[in-house]
């Protein structure tokens, strides 16, 4: 039977299925149905299949891929688990790195024990889910709050800023989910950031710049909420240094690379220049990853604009 399974192409068919974009794992029952008992044993001995979790098999060549591990956890959970936290964020947007462990939420009622790399928060099974690469994940807002809960306190804000920037979460829906989620650690920090949008902030880059990058006495002169009427159009810069006659714009790296957006930025800069204000721009990823470089650039620009004053 083992030789027959290989000879008639059944193993190749199983491996093709497991290597596909929407199927990374299968239960033992499905594997036996496809290959037979002896065929399954042969596939495991040869390394073609690996029992990644009890009674759950994946292609040996893909056993270390995070999406495959997530799929295996969902199969192992028998419909009672959803991928969550940093794992779900990674599947929803590759900007998020895959964590070392698989993060899941739900209830496991059978007695099999998962290895240490499966981290399950035992809560009620979320009714709403999204399907990503064939894996059932909690939606972005729930994934972000779960990731925030598991993360080190020093890493939480970055998760939130990136999730907002990449539009994995929306401000209003995140607020709704947060309000109904009990015992979120560091909730005051998330409240404060979301409160910036309620106060009129238009982008996570703007909030990041104001709350974490351009802070302290040296940037106390920066003004938020300013507005200028130029040629009949109201312009609302992110920040303004009035004495240096300088506008600070916190751009979206992705959006502002689009040709139409570039033209709009140039017109916006020209409008500010018409009333005597120069513009300096900072991208989201520079603000997040290279804040000191941004501070140095702004310091130098303000200094040069003020001259000998």
Q: Do the Cβ atoms of 73 and 87 come closer than 8 Å? A: no
Are 235 and 274 contacting, i.e. CB atoms less than 8 angstroms apart? no
Phi, psi of 122 (to 5 degrees): -85, 95
Arch. (CATH architecture) of 213-306:
3-Layer(aba) Sandwich (3.40)
Per-residue confidence (pLDDT) for residue 253, from 0 to 100: 53
Q: How far apart are the first and last CA of the chain?
A: 89
Say which residue the tokens 């902030």 belong to: 201
d(CA 106, CA 84): 10
Amino acid 259: pLDDT: 52
DSSP string covering 141-196, please? HHHHHHHHHHS-HHHHHHHHHHHHHTTSS-HHHHHHHHHTS---TTHHHHHHHHHH
Could you tell me which of 204, 212, 127, 143 has the C-alpha nearest to residue 171? 204
Low-confidence ranges of the chain (pLDDT < 70): 1-8, 22, 109-112, 252-261, 308-309
pLDDT at residue 63, rounded to an integer: 95
In this prediction, residue 23 carries a pLDDT of: 78
Is the pTM higher than 0.85? The answer reads: yes
What one-character-per-residue DSSP string does 110-149 give? Answer: SSPPPPTTEEEEE-PPPS--EEETTEEE--HHHHHHHHHH
268: Cα within 13 Å, side-chain hemisphere: 20
DSSP state of 97: P
Domain limits, the chain: 2-62, 66-196, 213-306
d(CA 197, CA 88): 25
Check residue 308 and give its pLDDT. Answer: 47
Return the beta strands (E) in the chain as ranges.
25-27, 49-53, 56-59, 81-83, 102-106, 118-122, 130-132, 135-137, 228-230, 233-235, 239-241, 246-251, 278-283
- State phi, psi for 202 to the nearest 5 degrees: -105, -15
* R_g over Cα of the chain: 26
pLDDT at 4: 53
β-pairing verdict for 81-83 and 102-106:
antiparallel
Residues 157/212, Cβ–Cβ less than 8 Å: yes
pLDDT value, residue 110: 56
Which residue reads 């809560």 in tokens? Answer: 123
pLDDT at residue number 258 = 54
Q: Which long-range contacts (CB under 8 A, 24 or more apart) does 199-206 make?
A: 200/225, 202/236, 202/238, 203/165, 203/238, 203/250, 203/252, 203/284, 204/161, 204/164, 204/165, 204/284, 205/165, 205/238, 205/250, 205/251, 205/252, 205/282, 205/283, 205/284, 205/287, 206/238, 206/239, 206/250
Using CB atoms within 10 A of its CB, is residue 282 exposed (0-12), middle (13-18) or buried (19+)?
buried
By the 8 A CB rule, do 61 and 108 touch? no
Per-residue confidence (pLDDT) for residue 256, from 0 to 100: 43
* Best CA proximity match to 13, nearest among 34, 43, 44, 38: 34
For residues 19 and 62, is the Cβ–Cβ distance under 8 A?
Answer: yes
């Amino acid at each position: 039977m083992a030789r027959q399974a290989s000879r008639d192409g059944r193993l190749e068919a199983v491996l093709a299925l497991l290597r596909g974009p929407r199927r990374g794992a299968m239960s033992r029952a499905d594997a036996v149905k496809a290959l037979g008992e002896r065929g399954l044993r042969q596939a495991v001995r040869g390394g073609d299949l690996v029992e990644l979790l009890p009674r759950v098999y994946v292609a040996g060549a893909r056993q270390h891929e995070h999406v495959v591990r997530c799929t295996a956890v969902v199969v192992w959970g028998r419909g009672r688990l959803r991928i969550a936290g940093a794992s779900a964020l990674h599947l929803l947007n590759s900007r998020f790195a895959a964590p070392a462990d698989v993060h899941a939420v739900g209830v496991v009622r059978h007695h099999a024990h998962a290895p240490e790399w499966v981290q399950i928060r035992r809560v009620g099974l979320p009714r709403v889910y999204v399907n990503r690469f064939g894996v059932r994940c909690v939606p972005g807002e729930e994934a972000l709050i779960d990731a925030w809960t598991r993360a080190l306190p020093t890493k939480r804000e970055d998760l939130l800023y990136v999730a907002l920037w990449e539009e994995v979460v929306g401000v209003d829906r995140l607020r709704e989910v947060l309000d109904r989620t009990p015992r979120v650690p560091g909730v005051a920090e998330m409240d404060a950031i979301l409160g910036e949008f309620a106060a009129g902030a238009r982008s996570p880059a703007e909030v990041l710049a104001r709350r974490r990058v351009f802070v302290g006495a040296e940037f106390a002169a920066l003004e938020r909420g300013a507005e200028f009427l130029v040629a009949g159009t109201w312009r609302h810069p992110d920040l303004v240094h009035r004495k240096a006659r300088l506008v600070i714009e916190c751009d979206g790296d992705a959006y502002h690379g689009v040709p139409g957006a570039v033209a709009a930025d140039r017109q916006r800069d020209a409008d500010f220049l018409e009333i005597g204000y120069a513009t300096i721009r900072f991208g989201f990823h520079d603000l997040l990853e290279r804040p000191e470089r941004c501070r140095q650039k702004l310091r130098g620009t303000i200094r040069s604009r003020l001259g000998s004053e």
